Amino acid sequence: MTTFLIRRLFQMILVTIVAAMLSYGLLYVQPGGPIDVLLAERQNSGANRIRESDIQRVMQRFELDLAMPVRFSRWLVGWPKGPIFGSVGADWVVGCATPGQVRLRYPDGRVEIVEEGCEKTVTLADLEGRKVSRGVVFGDFGDSQVMLRGRPVTDLIWSRLPYTLYLMGGSIVLAILLGVPLGVYSAVKQYSRFDYIATTIAFIGTSVPSFVFGIFFILLFSVLPQRAGLPYLPPGDAVGVRDYTIPLIGMVEAGSFLDRFLRVLMPCGVLTIINLAGWSRFVRGSMLEVLQQDYVRTARAKGVREQVVILKHALRNSLIPFVTLLAGVLATIFGGALITEAVFNWPGIGRLFIDALGRNDYNVAMAILFVNVILLLLGILITDILYTIVDPRIRIS
């Protein structure tokens, strides 16, 4: 087991670095970055409002004037901060502050300005005094560049994390507690009326997008009951901004336990239905395969009670494939549900990630992606260990 853990930890480090490189590169090469926004605004409002110095200042703040490998290295491990050992490589070029421009005139009279070369380079000496984090490897994700400018990214994540934890945690626990028994009972009662109903509901749950469920829930449990004067659920947000009255329930104080509980019901219900539908179908298929094995027929032929056959012999082996699905639970609990949180305006990590992408706050977006990769790899490692608990025949060499 020790050898296995050491080998897997080494593999996790390599996968984490590769995943960080790919996600970091893709995030910065996507169109619509802060410089593109400035250039578009400059084109619309004129060069007098947005000067070249403004563009250079934004490039330096986002470190867009540095080459991609240097920028990634500073984000990952906080290096280089300047010349090596104080003086080595002070004149080494690591980026370009002002790209060169060439005016091209075509035979048909068209004129096009393209970037070529570099008018003002950035060297290692220029990095001295420039603010940089200690690196995400050491737990420092830097400061927020837009959303909470100058504040640590960790403060922003910690402020949103509790909302995601109790939303995602509650929905996943409910989905497991309901999905496993439903899948097992549906397999045992194959082709029964219950099986047909459960299968139909599961197909609907897995095929309908989460935003459709969210809109349907808002109409069914909030808009229509409120118009009819019936008890209703608040349509969005995690905490109310003012007190409100619900028929048959009375006055609900904003920020109270009842207010928070009523607001979490709909997003938690949407996520529970989606997870429940997929997991129950998976458990049903795995259980049906196990029930056809020879050792199950042998146990029944020996007169073992059906309840013991199902719970002791069949259920444990049918959960082995299901354990694989649990590998991503840690990342899911942290990352939240992007679409569902957006529909219900839930201030969780998923909504934070969408806002960070929309506002080009790269440090926040990359922090969430990096932590998700770490948690996913840890979940896979825990899953491998759980295999030995679920199935004692598995031995790790």
Per-position DSSP letters for 88-133, written without gaps between them: BTTT-EEEEEEEEEEEEE-TTS-EEEEEEEEEEEEEGGGGTT----
CA distances (Å), origin 359, targets 31, 144, 170, 355 = 13, 11, 30, 6
Q: What's the CA angle centered on 391, arms 389 and 392, to 5 degrees?
A: 75
CA distance 156 to 292: 52
Q: What is the pLDDT of residue 9?
A: 85
CA distance 330 to 252: 34
CA distance 263 to 198: 28
CA distance 142 to 152: 6
pTM for the predicted model, two decimal places? 0.85
In sequence order, what are the residues at sequence separation of 6 or more whose Cβ sits closer than 8 angstroms to the Cβ of residue 341?
Answer: 164, 167, 267, 347, 348, 350, 351, 354
User: Burial letters for 192-202: b for 16+ Cβ neighbours within 10 Å, e otherwise?
Assistant: eeebeebbeeb
Sign of the four-CA dihedral 277, 370, 161, 157: negative
pLDDT by position in tens, the chain (length 397): 677 778 888 888 899 999 999 988 888 877 777 777 776 666 666 555 677 777 788 888 888 888 899 999 999 999 888 888 777 888 898 998 888 777 778 888 787 777 777 888 889 888 888 888 899 988 899 899 888 888 899 999 999 999 999 899 899 999 999 999 999 999 999 889 999 999 998 888 888 888 899 999 999 999 999 999 999 999 888 998 899 999 988 999 998 999 999 999 999 999 999 889 888 988 999 999 988 888 888 888 888 888 888 888 888 788 777 777 777 787 778 876 888 998 999 999 989 999 998 888 889 999 999 998 898 888 888 887 777 776 666 654 4
**Among candidates 319, 262, 234, which has minimal Cα distance to 285?**
319
DSSP state of 138: G
Q: How many CB atoms lie within 10 A of CB 265?
A: 14
Sign of the four-CA dihedral 56, 62, 68, 72: positive
